[in-house]
Structure 1
Amino acid sequence: MSTTAFITTASQLREDILHGRLRAGDRLKLADLARRYRTGYMPVREALRELQGQRLVEMSPNCGARVRGVDVQRVRNMFDVRIALEAMLARRAAERIRPSDIDRLHTVQKKLELSVQRHEYRAALVANHDFHRLVGEVADNDEALDILDMQWRLIPALWRSVGYARARFAAVISDHRQIIEALARRDQEASADITMSHAARARNDLLACLEDRAFSSSAK
């Protein structure tokens, strides 16, 4: 089995779940998924294990695999963890940051801003992830990054499921610039506070979009 086949299948299955094309409680049969994604059984099995780890799929010996999905409470819980960890990482990064790290953050930020200008929002989400991961790498806490990595695989997919908003990215760009400035000053408290506000705004925006989608679906 190629790694590419497994990654592609996991990504497609994740998108189908988060976009509601596969709903909570739906059974996930190997043969059906292999046909759906035009792949073999092994990539499907590995994709199911991956998404079980992300709590999007539940598996049992008697019932097989079913969609678990993501509800509003889970998103709140995820962001509670994300806000705490990213603030801690920003504070620690401010202690350790070097001029070369600031240069790298500026480079990633330019990619983000250029992607937004071009309305390439998928690329903007990638650049946003790269920005926050770079702050985490400077902080040098692999355990925290492992937890956040799992969330970073889910949250961009959730954003893709509800759509993009240019106004949302305008706030992201502004916050990132402030984070870079605080890190460059090695201001630990400001770095943490701005990062917390930034993540909290992302939580509130995403929850509002998810709740609007749920309301629209129930009204049909």
Structure 2
Amino acid sequence: MRSSYLTCTIFEWRLAIETMLVQSGVPHMKDSDYNRLVTIEEQYEKAAEEGDLLLCLKVNESFHKIINNLAQNPEAIRIIDRHCGLIDTMRQIFGSNRGTDISNDHRMLLEALKNRDAEAAANITRDHVIKAKEDLIARMKATGKPSKT
């Protein structure tokens, strides 16, 4: 399946770049950035609870964008932004049941950020991206076609 190959490639880029961005960005994080992330995570959890996939995708993107921007690396951010839309489109087509898992990952990431632990934040980000990739590919293989969820 060609789309699985493309999905793997995009997630490999995301894995490398987002891990680097979070690790580089932690030293630049201000308390106001952290507080915005907490608020956004609360919005994500509410949207997930309500089953609003489109809002989850939008809020999740905002969450990661704040973290990515901390690194002050516009070229890396352009690469991520260029491919985020494709991943979100695939999520809309194939759905996702990762709401609670995403929230748990975000909460662990928030704890690492609060402690200014760049290594832990990078490891959590790496695992988060790997789980997202595995979930999407599994959903694509299981359905073989787009779902309505």
- Structure 1-normalised TM-score? 0.64
Alignment of 1:62-73 (within 5 A): 71-73=3-5
Q: Quick one: distance in 1 between partners of 2:141 and 2:49?
A: 28
Q: Quick one: distance in 2 between partners of 1:181 and 1:112?
A: 17
- Letter of the structure 1 residue corresponding to residue 113 of structure 2: L
In structure 2, the residue matched to 1:131 is 63
Q: Quick one: distance in 2 between partners of 1:163 and 1:91?
A: 30
Tell me if 1:182 matches 2:112.
yes
Tell me if 1:79 matches 2:11.
yes
Deviation, structure 1 residue 154: 0.6
Unaligned runs of 5+ in 1: 1-69
Q: Quick one: distance in 2 between partners of 1:82 and 1:145?
A: 10
Alignment of 1:105-144 (within 5 A): 105-144=37-76
2:40–2:62 CA contact under 8 A, matched in 1: yes
Number of residue equivalences: 146
CA RMSD, Structure 1 to Structure 2 (Å): 1.6
Deviation, structure 1 residue 107: 1.1
- Structure 2-normalised TM-score? 0.93
Deviation, structure 1 residue 212: 1.4
- Letter of the structure 2 residue corresponding to residue 199 of structure 1: V
- In terms of fraction of residues, the more helix-rich structure is 2
What's the CA shift string for 1:63-87, capped at 9, x where partnerless? Answer: xxxxxxx611111011110001110
Q: Quick one: distance in 1 between partners of 2:32 and 2:84?
A: 25
Q: Quick one: distance in 2 between partners of 1:184 and 1:92?
A: 15
Alignment of 1:1-220 (within 5 A): 71-165=3-97, 168-214=98-144
Determine helix, strand or coil for the equivalent of 2:75. Answer: helix
What's the CA shift string for 1:140-184, capped at 9, x where partnerless? Answer: 11111100101111111101101232xx11000000011111011
Determine helix, strand or coil for the equivalent of 2:59. Answer: helix
The structure 1 segments of at least 4 consecutive aligned residues displaced by more than 4 Å after TM superposition are none
Deviation, structure 1 residue 121: 1.5
Q: Quick one: distance in 1 between partners of 2:70 and 2:122?
A: 14
Deviation, structure 1 residue 205: 0.3
Q: Quick one: distance in 2 between partners of 1:142 and 1:190?
A: 23
> Relative CO higher for 1 or 2, CA cutoff 8 Å, sep ≥ 6?
2
Q: Quick one: distance in 1 between partners of 2:34 and 2:84?
A: 22
Bigger Cα Rg: 1
Determine helix, strand or coil for the equivalent of 1:71. Answer: helix
Q: Quick one: distance in 2 between partners of 1:207 and 1:164?
A: 11
- In terms of fraction of residues, the more strand-rich structure is 1
Q: Quick one: distance in 1 between partners of 2:134 and 2:82?
A: 20
Identity, % of aligned positions: 30
